[in-house]
Amino acid sequence: MTKPNSLSQIIADPSCMNDYDPNSMPVNKARQFIKQFLSPVAEVETLPLCESLGRILSADIVSPADVPNYDNSAMDGYAFNAADVQVEAATTLKIIGTAFAGSAFNGNVAYGECVRIMTGGMLPVSTDSVIMQEKTAVMDDLLTFTETVKPGSNVRYAGEDLKQGQVVLAAGHMMQAADLGLIASLGISNVSVYRKLKIAFFSTGDELVGIGKPLLTGQVYDSNRYSIFGMLSHLGVETIDLGAIPDNPDFLESTLLSAAEQADVVITSGGVSVGEADYMKLLLAKHGQVVFWKIAMKPGRPLAYGKVGNAHYFGLPGNPVAVMVTFYQFVREALLTLMGQSNQAPLPIFNVVCTENIKKICGRTEFQRGILFPDTDGTWKVKPTGNQGSAILSSMSQANCFIVLHEALGNIEAGSIVPVQVLKGII
């Protein structure tokens, strides 16, 4: 794909890009396309360490010291100098003191001597090895090795985990539980992170009714806003819920403009497929630069991406499953990039045996909802949830993975190996 200069150039003249067909856009190409318009939010803030969980570092964390800070024992045992002794069973050494974690032994350890040492205790000067207590016998102040031990055993060396001046976590890293501990191990109490991304979202459709109200014939409850809220909340962004907006050009226009003014990203569901009242398309053409695609995928064929004012815009399909699939395949990674995450790995994909036949049409990527389960033979296998219709939201609740069936594939036979994209822990 050649790189266009701007969205407006593509909208005005789609032929400016090689191999670009908005009516049959492959999943990966759509992802790549969106990527070129994304860069992280500029503003950063400094937070107390614990509040940075789930946030993205805006500056490298550099180790101010070696970790560990000093050579110490990995075991409860006895510290000795390997050069001073015959390191073999039946070696006998005199115990001259004790080194506790947090309370060092400060004396000299001479030839033929050793020091009782606890896990984490600082290695006394002129010792270089530790024999674990289970491999020794003690009689009064005399220690006898009951097994051979290698020189240098059971020592955790200064700087073995982290060296002073080393970049411990790079800018662009999303803070996880282990990172809180890691940064605490350096004695650092505040970290610099990108500010939270603000996402405004609303549903569109005359048929939509808010929960808590009675449902009349021909109406459906607006479920998309709730699944979108859930998916956004897992990403740790700030959400602005603008409600369900009927297919009315004035309401849609004012909501779209207010969304774009308040937020970094605007997400809508419904109203971007062919045959819609087309208000959204007209409004997006009037106020933004937005491309409309038919993606070669199921579910989730219609998708719109672009800018409205300074805000990025994602127009998701209306069908509830399609909303979730397109969010995971396109929006999630785009938001992570805007949040500042670098070196993003795609959602992990594993190959497993599928235990049932699957009907599949060539020429489009299908994201079937699947259940990964441990089989009686001890391996994990996958089976599709039942009905795969793009309005069957219960399939998303049952699923713990997508079975990702690539464009070129046709029907799948039970026993075939299929790629699965694990959702547990992500949704």
Which of ligand AMP, Mg ion, none does 224 bind, CB closer than 5 to 8 A by kind?
ligand AMP
Assess 276 for contact with ligand AMP (CB under 6 A). yes
Single residue of 320, 340, 370, 384 touching ligand AMP by CB under 6 A: 320
Q: How many CB atoms lie within 10 A of CB 47?
A: 15
> Residue 40 or 320: which CB sits closer to ligand AMP?
320
Q: Please give the span between the terminal C-alpha atoms of the chain, in angstroms, as a whole number.
A: 32
The residue within the footprint of Mg ion, chosen from 26, 40, 121, 205 (CB under 5 A), is: 205
Angle between helices 224-235 and 332-339 (to 10 degrees): 40
> Judged by CB under 5 A, does residue 302 bind Mg ion?
no
Nearer to ligand AMP, 26 or 317 (CB): 317
- Residue 250, C-beta contacts closer than 8 angstroms, at least 6 positions apart: none
Of 179 and 222, which CB lies nearer to ligand AMP in the complex structure?
Answer: 222
Residue 319: which of ligand AMP, Mg ion, none does it interact with, CB under 5 to 8 A by kind? ligand AMP
- Enumerate long-range contacts of 253-258, CB under 8 Å, 24 or more apart: 253/283, 253/286, 253/287, 255/202, 256/280, 256/283, 256/284, 256/287, 256/308, 257/287, 257/308, 257/309, 258/200
317 is an interface residue for Mg ion by CB under 5 A: no
Amino acid at 91: T
d(CA 354, CA 401): 12
Among residues 63, 72, 153, 203, the one that binds ligand AMP under rule CB under 6 A: 203
| 205 is an interface residue for ligand AMP by CB under 6 A | yes
For the bound state, the minimum distance from the C-beta of residue 310 to ligand AMP, rounded and expressed in Å, comes to 26
Q: Which is nearer to Mg ion, 318 or 320 (CB)?
A: 318
Least gap, CB of 318 to ligand AMP (angstroms) = 2
Residue from 4, 317, 340, 384 in contact with ligand AMP (CB under 6 A):
317
Beta strand 380-384 with 349-354 is parallel
Q: C-beta of 270: minimal distance to Mg ion in Å?
A: 4
- For residues 52 and 203, which CB has a smaller minimum distance to Mg ion in the complex? 203
Distance CA 231, CA 144 (A): 62
Q: Give least dist CB 291 to ligand AMP, A.
A: 17
Assess whether the previous peptide bond of 299 is cis (omega < 30° from 0): yes
What is the sign, positive or negative, of the torsion defined by CA atoms of 311, 317, 318, 324?
negative
Shortest Cβ 320–ligand AMP spacing (Å): 5
Choose from Mg ion, ligand AMP, none: what does 115 bind? Cβ within 5-8 Å by kind: none
- Alpha carbon dihedral 416, 421, 425, 427, in 10-degree steps, equals -120
CB of 243 to ligand AMP, least distance (A): 10
356's contact among Mg ion, ligand AMP, none, with CB below 5 to 8 A by partner kind, is none
d(CA 81, CA 71): 13
Which pair of structure tokens corresponds to residue 295? 């993606």
Task: Pick the closer one to Mg ion by CB: 124 or 270.
Answer: 270
Q: 16 with 10: CB under 8 angstroms? A: yes
Sign of CA dihedral 206, 294, 289, 225: positive
Interacting stretch for ligand AMP, rule CB under 6 A, among 13-21, 89-97, 128-136, 205-213?
205-213
Q: Tell me: does residue 271 bind ligand AMP (CB under 6 A).
A: yes
Of Mg ion, ligand AMP, none, which one sits near residue 320, judging by CB under 5 to 8 A according to partner kind?
ligand AMP
Any contact of residue 270 with Mg ion (CB under 5 A)?
yes
208 binds, among Mg ion, ligand AMP, none (CB under 5 to 8 A by kind): ligand AMP
Between CA 275 and CA 7 the distance in angstroms is: 24
Please give the DSSP secondary-structure letter assigned to residue 329. Answer: I
Q: Determine the residue type at 182.
A: L
The footprint of Mg ion (CB under 5 A) covers 205, 270-271, 318
The footprint of ligand AMP (CB under 6 A) covers 203, 205, 207-208, 220, 222-224, 269-271, 273, 276, 317-320
